[in-house]
């Protein structure tokens, strides 16, 4: 089996807002699994830990990746739509300020409308 390579990556932090409750990989995986079960175009994803760094700010987070998996192939548009809908779901579920979805030709940033969304303080460290 062969399919043209295509992947979309989603990036989110591991803390609600900037100073809220930290959530685990297990909680994230469970939330993704429930979302997949309720989605007409469900697809497998890979979850990996990552760390974001900008000057004196750092935060642990997650990279969630969907690929055009040859066993369950999907069109690029289906993968893009699934990952953007997953981002919106996780934005709300884990009270994120922003989640980025990186497609091969564009990055889409989903944002909350919370007041803390405007705060980017230097006192934040890895959680």
* Domain map (residue ranges) of the chain: 7-118
Q: In terms of Cα–Cα distance, which of 62, 66, 65 is closest to 74?
A: 66
The whole-number pLDDT of residue 127 equals 40
Residue range 2-28: average pLDDT? 91
Most confidently modeled range among 11-20, 61-70, 98-107: 98-107
The whole-number pLDDT of residue 94 equals 95
Residues 12/56, Cβ–Cβ less than 8 Å: no
Both tokens of 119, joined, read: 């705060």
Residue range 97-120: average pLDDT? 79
More confident residue, 49 or 74: 49
- Chain centroid, CA 116 distance in Å: 19
Sign of CA dihedral 73, 78, 81, 85: negative
Residue 107 in this model has a pLDDT that exceeds 90: yes
Residues 53/122, Cβ–Cβ less than 8 Å: no
The whole-number pLDDT of residue 114 equals 58
The whole-number pLDDT of residue 40 equals 86
22-59 pLDDT per residue, tens: 999 999 999 999 999 999 888 999 999 999 999 998 88
The whole-number pLDDT of residue 121 equals 37
CATH number for 7-118: choose from 1.20.1050, 1.10.3470, 3.40.630, 3.30.70.
3.30.70
pTM above 0.95, yes or no: no
The whole-number pLDDT of residue 118 equals 39
């Amino acid at each position: 089996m062969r399919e043209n390579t295509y992947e979309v990556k989603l990036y989110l932090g591991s803390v609600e807002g900037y100073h809220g409750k930290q959530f685990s990989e297990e909680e994230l995986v469970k939330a993704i699994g429930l979302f997949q079960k309720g989605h007409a175009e469900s697809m497998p994803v890979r979850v990996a830990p990552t760390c974001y760094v900008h000057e004196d700010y750092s935060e642990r987070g997650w990279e969630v990746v969907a690929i055009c998996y040859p066993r369950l192939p999907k069109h690029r548009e289906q993968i893009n739509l699934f990952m953007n809908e997953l981002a919106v779901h996780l934005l709300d579920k884990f009270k994120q300020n922003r989640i980025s979805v990186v497609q091969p030709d564009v990055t889409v940033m989903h944002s909350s409308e919370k007041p803390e969304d405007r705060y980017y303080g230097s006192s934040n460290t890895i959680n």
